[in-house]
Amino acid sequence: MLLAIHIGNHAISFAVYNTEDRTQSASERLCFCAEIAAKPIRSADEYAVLLGQIFSLRGCPPKTITDVILSSVVPSLTEVIHAAAAQFFPVRPLVVSSGIKTGLRIRIDNPSQLGADLCALAVGASAYCSGPAVIASFDSATTLTVLSAPFELAGVVIMPGLQSAAQALDRDTALLTDIPLEAPHRVIGKNTADAMKSGLMLGCAAQIDGMVSRIAAELHVSVSDLTLLSCGRYAGRITPHCISSFTEMPHLLFEGLYTIHEKNH
């Protein structure tokens, strides 16, 4: 069994895969996913307790884990989670970083600067596209990872995340209050709450559409030639309101980690 771990800014996510049946795809081998809040003040022991509780809840004995792969965008938590995992699993995690085999051709100025999450997303998406693709990820930041071809990363777009934009609007405007992250029924708001919802939710969708159009132009293709995939905690709230047609793939990052693990064993 393979344990894939991703350390994000706000959450630490886990996925367990069955690695015995090689005839199945990564999505078919997925046993379960789980998530806990990422808190820098927690110790390795505290994370170990939470990790043990997750495996107990899922009815999966830790001794069944034979391999661990880890990606992180929070360096200060990487060793903490590594130490927590070591209390259960007697294998050293494969950490996604420069120098490991990914199969990616990274066409950016400094490939070592590519985030481990974006690397995994690009690898995961390559199984689903035959030409250029855009992967929209909606988490702490909103990112668009651009593939000019399978396993060829052309570059990335990074924008403020939906939650960050909402908090900034609430914090920096005296008369505007916190609102739920849901789209209104119309673009033109008739009250303050709907006006804010329109700007945040439909504005984000329009931003994604505009960037996809510009990306297609830079790649010298039409939008219809792009494979459009989405993931992240807010994907289901934004992409249904996009003109561009995205396929939501909630486990795409883990599928990328699974593939990276396979390439290194």
Residue 40 per-residue DSSP state: T
> How many other β-carbons are positioned within 10 Å of the β-carbon of residue 200?
22
- In the residue annotation, 117 being an active-site residue is answered as yes
Q: Which of 117, 170, 178, 194 is catalytic?
A: 117
Cβ-count burial 82-102 (b if 16+ within 10 Å, e if not): bebbeebbeeebbbbeeeeeb
Contact 145, 137 (CB under 8 A): yes
Structure tokens at 40: 């820098």
* Rounded Cα distance, 70 and 14, in Å: 9
> How many other β-carbons are positioned within 10 Å of the β-carbon of residue 69?
26
Catalytic residues: 117
